[in-house]
Amino acid sequence: MAELACLCAGGAGGMRPVVGIIACNRMTGGEPSVTVMRRYAEAAMRYGDFASLVVPSLPGVMAAGEIVGRLDGLLLTGSPSNVEPRLYGDAGVSDGPFDPERDAMTQGLIAEFRAAGKPIFGICRGFQELNVAFGGSLRRDLGPRHHSPEERDLPTMFGHRHDVALAPEGRLAVAYGRDSLTVNSVHYQGVDRLGDGLVVEATAPDGVVEAFSAGDVLAVQWHPEWDSDADADSQALFAAFGAMLRRR
């Protein structure tokens, strides 16, 4: 737990790492906008102890390779949109909403950051994007086991919780010093085929993969950004990402 809980010094004195936070494309006030929910940026910067810049998902006017050299890491957030099935070889019908520009931008960013050996932290949709980028596929049938009814308010939806078992001797199990966590769960998609080179870090009671890692990549299916001020385990995940940035 000490490794995860330690916020490495940097904010008070020297220059802090700068992380790119991916933005979604949404309608705001009747027109398209590039958007990051504040809870992601605020929780990540507070407990990871780094600065950040928002990365718009506009692959038609910018390329991932243009910015990778100017950033120290990448945060892939959750989103109401789903990854398009064609990206993982599934020709079946899938429910949206979709954000194809974010799909294109994140796949390019993941490739560039992996090539540069720079840390990536994925949350929910970001977890799914990473699995696809590593050659994996997604399932779309998780339903009420992992997602409360959408007509509920956000606190109730994000309060939908279950235990996850941490992989013995895995990075999370070693860092936390225990074999399980209780996490929130708001997702319909999840891992079907695990991507090449990814190591499972946590699983739900029904066997669904809830966290994985690979080198400087760490991703969780749950939402540590939600009510992070009241959850030491969530704070520790962001601190772990901050530590990854500083080790590099």
- pLDDT, residue 147, reads 77
Residue 58 domain flag: yes
Query: Per residue in 134-160, pLDDT tens?
Result: 999 998 877 766 877 777 888 888 888
Q: Is the pLDDT of residue 3 over 60?
A: no
Q: What is the CATH number of the domain that holds 23?
A: 3.40.50.880
C-alpha to C-alpha distance for 155 and 102, rounded to whole angstroms:
26
Q: Which has the closest alpha carbon to 195: 113, 118, 88, 83?
A: 88
**How many domains are there within the chain?**
1
Residue 152 domain flag: no
Query: Per residue in 73-102, pLDDT tens?
Result: 999 999 989 999 999 998 776 677 899 999
C-alpha to C-alpha distance for 221 and 128, rounded to whole angstroms:
8
Residue 160 domain flag: no
Query: Per residue in 114-130, pLDDT tens?
Result: 999 999 999 999 999 99
Sign of the CA dihedral with 127 first, then 133, 134, and 135 last:
positive
Residue 175 domain flag: no
Distance of CA 44 to the CA centre of its chain: 11
Catalytic residue status for 223? yes
Pair of tokens at residue 199: 């190591």
Q: Is the pLDDT of residue 1 over 60?
A: no
Sign of the CA dihedral with 79 first, then 95, 105, and 243 last:
positive
C-alpha to C-alpha distance for 121 and 27, rounded to whole angstroms:
26
Catalytic residue status for 124? yes
- Its domain, for residue 49, covers 2-8+18-141+190-247
Q: Which of 124, 129, 160, 210 is catalytic?
A: 124
C-alpha to C-alpha distance for 110 and 120, rounded to whole angstroms:
8
Residue holding tokens 């939600």? 226
Catalytic residue status for 225? yes
Residue 75 domain flag: yes
Q: φ and ψ at 84, to 5 degrees?
A: -65, 130
Residue 37 domain flag: yes
Question: Under a CB-based contact definition with an 8 Å cutoff, are residues 218 and 123 in contact?
Answer: no
* Structural Rg of the chain based on CA atoms: 17
Residue 127 domain flag: yes
Query: Per residue in 152-202, pLDDT tens?
Result: 888 888 888 999 999 999 999 999 999 999 999 888 789 999 999 999 999
Residue 74 domain flag: yes
